[in-house]
Amino acid sequence: MASLIAEIVYRGIFQKNLAARVARGIVLSARKSGRWGIAFGRYGDSPQRNGIPAKDFAIVADTKEELEQNMARYEPKHTDVTIVLDDTLAKGVESWAWYGLQPINKLTVPNGTVLMTSLQSFDSLIEDVHKREEPYTLALIRAKASFSGLWVYREDHTEVRVLGALAKIAPQFLPLDGVCQAIQEIDWGSDLKVASAKKAHDRLESRVVKITEGNAEAPFAFEKPKWWEMREGVTIPAIPIGKPKEGGEGYVPDRNPYFKKYTTRTMRPVIDFDTCVKCNLCWISCPDSCFDVMPDGTFDANMEACCGCGVCEAVCPVEQCVTMVNESLFEDNASQWEMWRKDQAAYKTWLVTKIGDKQGTLRSHGFRFRGQYEQELAAGDLDSGGGVITAGIPGENAAHKTQ
């Protein structure tokens, strides 16, 4: 092997700087062992919207010529290591110009490694990851998804723990000594973070995933149009504006039939139609036009068009009229308005059950109000390092639990 190619898959906005620091750390660590490297984001496809999947890449090579050869491609066609900074991405990623749902291990080479931060069991994660025709290794850093690097919390050590784990996975390119030297020299510059990297190296858990294991479902996909099928000129068919609902009351916008935005959603809005004041703010503010205007003037979120960004909850002026709830509590994308119209009493019971689930309403990304993250940390609802944050190394307690 003359080069090491790694992709870092993360949630836009809240993990943007974290992913960039991981990619930068890979290159700087490799330089300590005399190798060449480069880190970059995916060109033109890093939307950086709240919760939307995005990618960074890092390439390390033995020689400058080998590095330039890899850089000549638009993007890497395969990766030796896929680094996943949020385990909800295990079910696949879809973003603009990715052409349908992409399995999280799609670019991982045969016998390569998917490195993930997670507190879940191997079996639970493998249920979500799509099957492959070749075996690969799933490696786990025991930690929750980190928001480190934006503005809410900066010192959970996720970036150095990833580097320590990579030193265990690919020591020929990222020797542990080189990783520790890089950590001490760049802006992290801390003996405590060096210790975190070493512990992540020693405590890394991994297992080989067989070709018989994983999610057997075929990912949603569509066939891209051929150039000879396009009409003359530089136009392509646009998405129609939409039309009124049957009977002339309400309005349903037309939507892209190929881009099903729900596939990587981690939370969805639950709507209390009884308290809706019909202010139109959710409908106006939704970046994806996912709300249908119903005949009674309320708004029903189309769950195939909703990506779960939480903007509707943030702009709604009525408390708990729109509440973001964890996607794992739902079985389908059925219309909430139709459920409410059919049996309002049963819908109210259903709604109270969903928004009353404390774990279900903890944010997988983003927050409802300023300072919420600090409050949840103090209350013990979150532990960004995989355990209780102590004066020592974040994740120390949880690391002992997993031994």
pLDDT tens digits, one per residue of 88-131? 999 998 765 566 788 999 999 999 999 999 999 999 999 999 99
Query: Residue 387: inside a domain, yes or no?
Result: no
Query: Residue 193: inside a domain, yes or no?
Result: yes
Question: How confident is the model at residue 87, as a pLDDT?
Answer: 94
Q: Are strands 108-117 and 291-293 parallel, antiparallel or unpaired?
A: unpaired
Closest Cα partner for 52 from 306, 304, 293, 279?
Answer: 306
- Categorize the per-residue pLDDT at 236 as very low, low, confident or very high, splitting at 50, 70 and 90: low
157 and 119 in a single domain? The answer is yes
Instruction: Residue 290: give its domain's CATH number.
Output: 3.30.70
Question: How confident is the model at residue 48, as a pLDDT?
Answer: 66
Is 70 exceeded by the pLDDT of residue 343?
Answer: yes
Element (H, E) at 53: strand 53-61
What mean pLDDT is reported for the chain? Answer: 84
Average pLDDT over residues 238-243: 76
Q: How many domains does the chain have?
A: 2
Question: How confident is the model at residue 289, as a pLDDT?
Answer: 87
Instruction: Residue 113: give its domain's CATH number.
Output: 3.40.920.10
Query: Residue 215: inside a domain, yes or no?
Result: no
187 and 85 in a single domain? The answer is yes
Cβ atoms < 10 Å from Cβ of 374: 13
Is 80 exceeded by the pLDDT of residue 213?
Answer: yes
301 and 239 in a single domain? The answer is yes
276 and 310 in a single domain? The answer is yes
169 and 240 in a single domain? The answer is no
Is 90 exceeded by the pLDDT of residue 41?
Answer: no
Contact by Cβ (8 Å): 232, 148: no
161 and 37 in a single domain? The answer is yes
Question: How confident is the model at residue 402, as a pLDDT?
Answer: 29
247 and 336 in a single domain? The answer is yes
86 and 24 in a single domain? The answer is yes
Average pLDDT over residues 350-359: 90
341 or 366, higher pLDDT? 341
Question: How confident is the model at residue 401, as a pLDDT?
Answer: 28
For residue 309, the one-letter residue type is C
Q: Which domain holds residue 55?
A: 3-209
Query: Residue 21: inside a domain, yes or no?
Result: yes
Average pLDDT over residues 202-215: 96
91 and 143 in a single domain? The answer is yes
Is 50 exceeded by the pLDDT of residue 215?
Answer: yes
Question: How confident is the model at residue 136, as a pLDDT?
Answer: 97
162 and 242 in a single domain? The answer is no
Average pLDDT over residues 376-400: 43
Q: How far, in Å, CA of 286 to CA of 312, rounded?
A: 6
Q: How far, in Å, CA of 346 to CA of 54, rounded?
A: 39
Closest Cα partner for 30 from 166, 128, 205, 161?
Answer: 166
167 and 296 in a single domain? The answer is no
Query: Residue 222: inside a domain, yes or no?
Result: no
Query: Residue 231: inside a domain, yes or no?
Result: yes
Q: What token pair was written down for 145? A: 């998804």
3-class DSSP state of 396: helix
Contact by Cβ (8 Å): 197, 183: yes
109 contact partners, CB below 8 Å, separation of at least 6: 78, 79, 80
Is 90 exceeded by the pLDDT of residue 357?
Answer: no
Q: What token pair was written down for 142? A: 């025991």
Is 80 exceeded by the pLDDT of residue 186?
Answer: no
Cβ atoms < 10 Å from Cβ of 253: 18
167 or 55, higher pLDDT? 167
Query: Residue 389: inside a domain, yes or no?
Result: no
Half-sphere exposure of 237 (CA within 13 A, CB side): 9
3-class DSSP state of 338: helix
174 and 281 in a single domain? The answer is no
Question: How confident is the model at residue 385, as a pLDDT?
Answer: 40
Chain centroid to CA 358: 22
Q: Which residue has the tokens 């509707």?
A: 312
What is the number of residues in the chain? 403
Q: How far, in Å, CA of 186 to CA of 71, rounded?
A: 25
The proportion of the chain whose per-residue pLDDT surpasses 90, expressed as a percent, equals 51
Average pLDDT over residues 151-171: 85
- How many angstroms separate the Cα of 161 from the Cα of each of 14, 268, 314, 318? 18, 31, 33, 42
The proportion of the chain whose per-residue pLDDT surpasses 70, expressed as a percent, equals 83
DSSP state of 365: S
pLDDT tens digits, one per residue of 11-27? 887 788 889 889 999 99
Query: Residue 120: inside a domain, yes or no?
Result: yes
Closest Cα partner for 393 from 168, 195, 120?
Answer: 195
